[in-house]
Amino acid sequence: MARSSYPDIEIPSASVYEVLFGGLDDADLDRVALVDGTSGDETSYRQLIAQIDALAGSLAARGLAVGDRVGILCPNIPAFATVFHGVLRAGGTATTINSLYTVGEIANQLTSAGATWLFTVSPLFPQAAEAAKAAGIPDDRLVVIDGAEGHPSLHDLLFDRAAPPEVSFDPATHLAVLPYSSGTTGRPKGVQLTHRNIVANVLQSAELIPLTREDRVLAVLPFFHIYGMTVLLDFALLRRATLVTMPKFDLAEFLRITSAQRCSWVFIAPPIAVALAKHPLVDEYDLSAVKVIFSGAAPLDRSLSEAVAARLDCIVCQGYGMTETSPVTHVLPVGATELDRSSIGRALPNTECRLIDLESGADVEVPEEGPSAPGELLVRGPQVMTGYLDDEEATHHAIDDEGWLHTGDIATVDADGVYTIVDRLKELIKYKGYQVAPAVLEAVLLSHPDVVDCAVIGVADDDGQEVPKAFVVRRGDELDEAAVMAFVTERVAPHEKVRLVEFIDVIPKSTSGKILRKDLRSKVGRHAAVG
């Protein structure tokens, strides 16, 4: 067991709202908090807080009670910050939903979370309305931020002019957010993160991520994802930086906004790094203001990191975490240029780590020189979730009796406390930073009348990025690869699509019926992905 090499910090018993906005002075209030990257419209910290307070007051006046769950289905726009923090300010719990989800997936999350409200935007209204109806959310609690007939808008709620409520709850136990994650295996589960979890993680991150109030931060990573939620939406506001929102990734628009807004910090996932390293369009834009490219959500390869750093003349580093850890547990320090850029750096303050042998479960010893033997990474700290919603079995599988979260990732560590992820135990696929659960895709595939059996694994494409590949046992020979992919595409979110298909005679399984994914992985090399 090893504690972080950084001194512990004090974590106040306070709400997210109190920590992020309680210490603003007049100079801070008049700074720009948010910029709509598409239009250039600006929102000051003063305006943002006024909107948050007004929304909290309206929600309370309209019946939102402390502990009620509120769904947010919305892309990265400035209003997301108002809605998210307005819900938390009123004592509600925000369950953020992937904007790419299908009606069924939205309804499943709303129902699982017990959401009684849903906020969305007009482009997502059709699927939101159908999902809300399936989840029993009435029309007057389906808020369409930019307006839709028969539903309240954000403007309506802000102009109720109701005073923000006086709420009381224990930050250590009261849920702030309820994002969904597949954990190490299986279907998505609600991850219970308290105000203390989120507060701890933004303050822990502040010790290692040297963002300042003079920085302009590009927010293309979705706020519904824990990485965007904590590291961008919350942490950037804590540091009084300016957050430049971008509703979806498009390379030309990404480059235009980064250049036009003179963004100094750009938080990305590895697939964006591929474009920054290789695409000729990059040379057409002035990216000289970029100081740091910070990657997360999936491992960043050393050669790719170095290629981006060389092309943009900036620092490239990465962090590591999980939805279950709010999410950050490790960060490669920006200034520590002597460290291996493929490592995830050191553990945050207040964070303990262990590596355990995959066979014996014994602790892996830290050598005096070089990397240790590989072992599963376990973490413990104030950022670790309280558990999965209504799923004690999954919670006990993830967090042992001593409070150690088993990450499912295999890592090494050196004598300086620098960790490197080298493999993954978990079956979860990380496609462009999004989580894709093989079990979900396998269930869809098995619903096809001509699919006898199947298995899905992640494989590396030509750029070294992970994509979902399906191994299919078919009935007859009429079913082809295109038909399989089209069948899945119609039933899942775009990031969950099967990108490669291979027909085989039998799916390898253990005597207990468990798919032997390692046997399937031994069959594949690198591929060019479809789509």
- 124-135 average pLDDT score: 98
- Listed residues 136, 169, 202: the one ending a domain: 169
d(CA 445, CA 64): 40
Q: Is residue 395 part of a domain?
A: no
Q: Is residue 225 part of a domain?
A: no
Long-range contacts, stretch 139-145, CB < 8 angstroms, 24+ apart:
140/62, 141/62, 141/116, 141/117, 142/117, 142/118, 143/117, 143/118, 143/119, 144/120, 145/74, 145/77, 145/79, 145/83, 145/119, 145/120, 145/121
Contact 269, 432 (CB under 8 A): yes
d(CA 169, CA 82): 21
pLDDT top residue among 5 and 114: 114
- Listed residues 102, 136, 169: the one ending a domain: 169
Helix H or strand E encompassing 163:
none
pLDDT-based confidence at 453, cuts 50/70/90? confident
List, as one string, the DSSP characters of 70-81: EEEE--S-HHHH
3-state class of 57 per DSSP? helix
Q: Is residue 21 part of a domain?
A: no
pLDDT tens column, 44-86: 999 999 999 999 999 999 999 999 999 999 999 999 999 999 9
Cα dihedral: 51, 53, 56, 57 (round 10): -110
Q: Is residue 150 part of a domain?
A: yes
Q: Is the pLDDT of residue 235 over 90?
A: yes
Helix H or strand E encompassing 20:
helix 16-21
Q: Is residue 140 part of a domain?
A: yes
Average of per-residue pLDDT values in the chain? 92
3-state class of 277 per DSSP? helix
Closest by CA position to 328, among listed 468, 223, 229: 229
d(CA 390, CA 404): 20
Could you tell me the CATH number of the domain that includes residue 515?
A: 3.30.300.30
E strand segments, 46-110 = 69-73, 93-96
Q: Is residue 289 part of a domain?
A: no
- 191-218 average pLDDT score: 97
Q: Which two tokens stand for residue 5?
A: 């090499």
Q: Is the pLDDT of residue 309 over 90?
A: yes
3-state class of 485 per DSSP? helix
Q: Is the pLDDT of residue 518 over 90?
A: no
Which of 75-79, 130-134, 421-425 is least confident?
Answer: 421-425
pLDDT of amino acid 489: 95
Rounded to the nearest 10 degrees, the angle between the axes of helix 270-278 and helix 302-312 is: 50
pLDDT of amino acid 503: 96
**How are beta strands 429-431 and 419-424 bridged, if at all?**
unpaired
Rounded to the nearest 10 degrees, the angle between the axes of helix 78-89 and helix 45-61 is: 50
d(CA 217, CA 214): 10
d(CA 100, CA 263): 26
Q: Is residue 385 part of a domain?
A: no
Could you tell me the CATH number of the domain that includes residue 70?
A: 3.40.50.980
pLDDT of amino acid 296: 85
Count: domains in the chain: 2
- Listed residues 145, 169, 193: the one ending a domain: 169
d(CA 19, CA 12): 8
Q: Which domain holds residue 58?
A: 31-169
Q: Is the pLDDT of residue 530 over 70?
A: no
Q: What are the backbone angles phi and psi of residue 355, rounded to the nearest 5°? A: -115, 130
Establish whether the linkage from the previous residue to 349 is cis, with ω within 30° of 0. no
CA angle 326, 328, 334 (to 5 degrees): 150
Q: Which two tokens stand for residue 449?
A: 């009348």
Helix H or strand E encompassing 59:
helix 45-61
